[in-house]
Structure 1
Amino acid sequence: MTLLKIVAPAMLLCGTVAVAQVPVEVAPLSSQLVELEIRAPATVVPANRAVVAAQVGALISEVLVDVGSIVDKGDELIRLDQADASLAAQRAEAELNALDSQIAQAERQLTRGEELFASNYISDDELLVRRTNVAVLTANRAAQQLAIRSAKLALSRTSVRAPFAAAVVERAAQVGSLAQPGTPLITLVQVSNREVDAELDPRNVASIESAAELRFESQGSAFPVTVSRLSPIVETDSRIQRGRFRFVEATAPIGASGEVVWRDAAGLLPITLIVQRDQQLGVFVADGQKARFMALPMAQEGRPARANLPPDTLLVVRGQSRLQDGDELSFSRP
């Protein structure tokens, strides 16, 4: 890169004092950008964490797992007393059998009624009563079938099973205790499909998607990760955005804390080029023979900043501290 030197000699032309020019050096924006390593605090979290609760009311008769147990999907965790649920299922079956007998009797009465009606021995109203009785009993039978399904479902729920492959991290269930619907029994953490949850500065979110290399660093180890999803919401209390990242190969333990690290591929302006004018941070560029102050809205004092300017923009790289917007410049090559 060749730096252009701007010389400001004092000249008197025909008795008129020339406009003072500030000596500076300029260079293309593309030659001044630096890569910045960005870090965001992060923690390894499970894809699922579930508090398994009782779905029916019953005494806890047996606890089959404890803290630290590894279970597969569908493994039985807890057994609840089945006596009440079993009796309810049997009672529902008996009531269905009774309805079947009533329906059979009502259908025979309806058939006989239709024969009598054809011979004018009974009225229209009497026949209608018999037909209605069959329809009501048939509807009651359908409702009773649903009651049987509900009773069998309640019976099956006396066996509490794991919803996914997981590790048991907390046990609240105690043998002999009465569990009510919603009573917490076991807490499970899914051991597969873990992710990295990161707290991102909203100004850096755009650079993540174009980053060539992403990694999670924890306790001296680095794990390659890829973007899973980025929240579009800036949290009002902490002013951060959440990001989730997937491990590429090796995974860090669930609960491990560290940082998500990447390099800003677009490049940033070094802090030495950034100045403050009228309570705004920005840079000076050469606009022909004049200096123009270009504000950087996202810049922070003491930190490199992103500049949304064309790559060939001529930046003032030396002498910018003395410039004001609109100052005259003159260019000469060394």
Structure 2
Amino acid sequence: MRFFSLLTATLVVVFLYALVLERDSLRAWASGAAAEENPEGEGIALPEQLVAVVAVKSQARSVENALLLRGETEASRQVVVSSETSSRVVSEPIRKGAFVEAGQLLCELDPGTRPSAVAEARARVSEAQANEVAARIDINAAERLGEGGYASETRVATARAAQEAALAGVQAAEAGVAAAEKEIERLSIRAPFAGLLESDTAELGALMQPGTPCATVIQLDPVKLVGFVPETQVSDITVGALAGARLTSGHEVSGAVTFLSRSSDPQTRTFRVEIEIPNPDFSILDGQTAEILIASSGSDAHLLPGSALTLSNDGTLGVRIVGEGDIANFAPVDYIRDTPEGVWLSGLPDEVIVITEGQEYVGNGEKVEVHFAENNQ
């Protein structure tokens, strides 16, 4: 009894396989068998069996495209403010997280003997200026005596050389004053721009050397969104394009593309893109993960049900369309994006009839019986 059940199940599977997957071969075999039984074709009329399918008439529409990227937030500016001279900190530290204005004092250093060096440099300027005045008087006297024949040309040349040396001495003394005053300015380490302290300023009494950090300042308003675009899509992005993003916190923001790299990353072959986002309340932090959408140029596409999609024998994504004479054919498509109403597809003619039900049971060049959906007569 069990043997007959297995035999029946096997025959059903074979029949279904031949009916669904080998439909064209089965039809050709049946036609060949009929032709052998009746070579003249007399007295036999094989009715054409058409596969009934459901289809829709679709008209291409313009749709805005968007590129989806993974990226992160990044501070507009970030700098480690360092010391340019050696001395000890004499100011109280400012704690991290504090907002500082551009030019605000961050670290004050002990002046030591630097004020005395400035006073000494200024005294040298006065001395050099007095020497220059004396040299000018001497050369005037030498030139008058030389005109009367009472002084040699050598004396006049010597007086002129002395005046030039006095002028050089004045310039050197003035340069010494500028250097001493600049050293005094370096004792006050100030914020280069308005922003937030990412670290405490140097502690009171800490010894600073040239290059020793005083504090780290970051600017978060505006903040940047940074993503990387594949080389196949970089031509779809332009500077100034609208963009939006959803952060991991659920916060949604929008802005515009401000930078698109012209050189790809040698490792990933991707291009850096930056989007500027207003952040007046500093709610967006540096380094947050973001899902970025960038608007690109629109294109003509069809909005079709997801059920219309199928694959060709080589795995190409496409749909079955109905052409002249109700002949079905496979048409490859380009997937744009998914929506609650369906999927946007490009690569099809402006007007096309697309099979939405039954496309898996017909092959290329096969005539079908088309029934249009109720809402698409």
User: CA-to-partner distance for each residue in 1:105-151, whole Å, 9 max, x for gaps?
Assistant: 11111011011111222222221121122123213322332332222
SS state at 1:185 partner: strand
Q: Say if 1:87 and 1:313 are closer, same or farther in 2 by CA, change over 3 A.
A: farther
**Which of residues 283, 290, 293 is equivalent to 1:259?**
290
Name the CA distance, whole Å, in 1 between partners of 2:267 and 2:307.
29
The 2-side partners of 1:79 and 1:45 are apart by 30
Distance (whole Å) between structure 2 residues aligned to residue 316 and residue 206 of structure 1? 33
Question: Gaps spanning 5+ residues in structure 2: where?
Answer: 1-23, 33-38, 41-50, 337-342, 372-377
> Based on CA coordinates, which of the two structures has the bigger radius of gyration?
2
Q: For residues 216 and 44 of structure 1, what CA distance do their matches in structure 2 show?
A: 11
Question: Which residue of structure 2 lines up, in the alignment, with residue 19 of structure 1?
Answer: none
Identity %: 18
Tell me the CA shift for residue 153 of structure 1.
1.6
Equivalent residue number for residue 154 of structure 1: 183
Partner residue, 2:266:
236
Note if 1:69 corresponds to 2:89.
Answer: no
Matching residue within 234, 250, 255 for 1:220: 250
The answer as to whether partners of 2:89 and 2:107 remain within 8 angstroms in 1 is yes
Kept in 2: contact 1:274–1:282 (CA 8 A): yes
Offset of 1:160 from its aligned partner? 1.0
Letter in 1 for 2:213: P
Cα distance change on mapping 1:212 and 1:145 into 2, 3 Å = closer
Q: Distance in 2 between matches of 1:313 and 1:132?
A: 97
Deviations 1:20-50 (A, max 9, x none): xxx9999889659998875433333221111
Q: 1:202 to 1:217 in 2, by over 3 A?
A: farther
Cα separation, 1, equivalents of 2:57 and 2:319: 12
For the structure 1 residues 114 and 292, does the alpha-carbon distance in structure 2 shift closer, same or farther, using more than 3 Å as the test? farther
Q: Is the 8 A contact 1:166 1:191 kept in 2?
A: yes
Task: Give me the CA root mean square deviation.
Answer: 4.6
Contact 1:35 1:268 in 2 (8 A): no
CA contact (8 A) 1:39 1:259 kept: no
1:120 aligns to 2:149 (yes or no): yes
Matches within 5 A, 1:103-252: 103-171=132-200, 173-206=202-235, 214-247=244-277, 252=283
1:53 paired residue number: 82
Bigger mean CA offset, 257-266 vs 218-227: 257-266
- The Cα shift of 1:188 comes to 1.1
Residue 96 (structure 1) aligns with: 125
1:220 counterpart SS class:
coil
- Cα distance in 2 for partners of 1:32, 1:321 equals 29
Cα distance in 2 for partners of 1:106, 1:156 equals: 35
Q: What do the CA deviations read for 1:197-252 (whole angstroms, capped 9, x no partner)? A: 23444445455559776233331222233322222333233443322222257764
The residue matched to 1:45 in structure 2 has which SS?
strand
Paired with 1:218 and 1:141, the residues of 2 have a C-alpha distance of 65
User: Structure 2 vs 1, CA of residues 248 and 155 (structure 1 numbering), >3 Å: closer, same or farther?
Assistant: closer
When the two structures are superposed, what TM-score results if normalisation uses the length of structure 1?
0.71
Judging changes above 3 Å, is the alpha-carbon distance between structure 1 residues 174 and 249 closer, same or farther for their aligned structure 2 residues? Answer: closer
**Gapped regions of structure 1 (runs ≥ 5):** 1-7, 16-22, 299-303
Which string of whole-angstrom CA distances, capped at 9 and with x for unpartnered residues, describes residues 34-88 of structure 1? 9887543333322111100001222222234122222111111111111233222
Question: Which piece of structure 1 moves more, 263-272 or 248-257?
Answer: 263-272
Deviations 1:267-306 (A, max 9, x none): 699797575777x95658989999798797x9xxxxx998
**Residues 33, 95 of structure 1: CA spacing in aligned structure 2 closer, same or farther, 3 A cutoff?**
same
Distance 1:180 1:227 in 2: 41
Alpha-carbon separation, structure 2, partners of 1:234 and 1:321: 46
Point out the more displaced range, 133-142 or 207-216. Answer: 207-216
